[in-house]
Amino acid sequence: MQYQRVNVSGLSIFFRTAGNPNQPVLLLLHGFPTASHYFRNLMPLLERDFYCIAPDMVGFGQTEAPSRENFSYTFDHETEMMAAFLEELGIDCYYLYVFDYGAPVGFRLAMEKPEQVLGIISQNGNVYEEGLGAKWQDRRTYWENPTNEGRRTFAAAYAKDTIEKQYLGGEKEGAVGPDGYLLDIYYSQVLPDYAEKQNDLILDYRTNVAKYPAFQQYLRKQQPKLLAIWGKNDPSFIWQGAVAFLKDVPEARIVPLDAGHFALESHANVIAQQIRKTFIG
């Protein structure tokens, strides 16, 4: 594993890599509340077949996180930064691994330049209404009436116990170590104005749901090679979201895992095997 930084649009973007740069690129996009360290166990398992690149998005992990006055924390802006990141590294052809927040960013990238995407791995990366779990009803209510009081209710999403439960929920006892969630808890406590930046993204998530039909149209038109591999015990992005891919990409491979939202924490080996089976043969 290598750890690097690159200047993108005036910001220092942190990213980790594994593998030979002569191999096909696998771009790994993390979700909330984690960062590129989410892929720490997967990347060494794939480095023989891919050049793995995992950046920290703006406001996450080790990437520079400017103030809200100087950076708009929206998914469109995060996508612009990732597009500029790829351009800065000279990457114009890649496989795409999306998880959680990484899905709306990754699918925006794919829609903008479909010719660059060789295939997609969606691990609990939802783009369907039927994949939204019960908790999203509260968020829809907030989106329709985004009051300051409503905004404050999401403070619990950044609490230590909430983050830990997100990792352990839906997993067998002892299957998930503390490394990932403790690092996420650390970032939630030390990154400047973390909660307000994340609240901006929670509000802006409504734009992702509004784009679901466009993401689905991309899938129907382009028919990318697609693996939807899903922690089926995830209460946030539920199993029906994985099955829904078959509506638009009938040849997609749909693989359930006895895991929760952060399935890589317990199933990195299985996920690596399925990726190689789907894209390497």
- Active site amino acids: 261
Helices vs. strands in the chain: H and E counts, helices first: 11, 8
Helix axes 194-222, 102-112, angle to 10 degrees: 40
**Whether the Cβ atoms of residue 66 and residue 192 lie closer than 8 Å to each other:** no
Longest CA–CA span in the chain (Å) reads: 52
Helix (H) or strand (E) holding 108: helix 102-112
Give ∠ CA 220-52-78 in degrees, rounded to 5: 60
Q: Which of 236, 232, 10 is nearest to 101 (CA)?
A: 236
End-to-end CA separation in angstroms for the chain? 24
Give ∠ CA 144-149-155 in degrees, rounded to 5: 100
- Strands (E) across 180-245 are located at 226-231
| 118 phi/psi in degrees, rounded to 5 | -85, -25
**Amino acid identity at 137:** Q
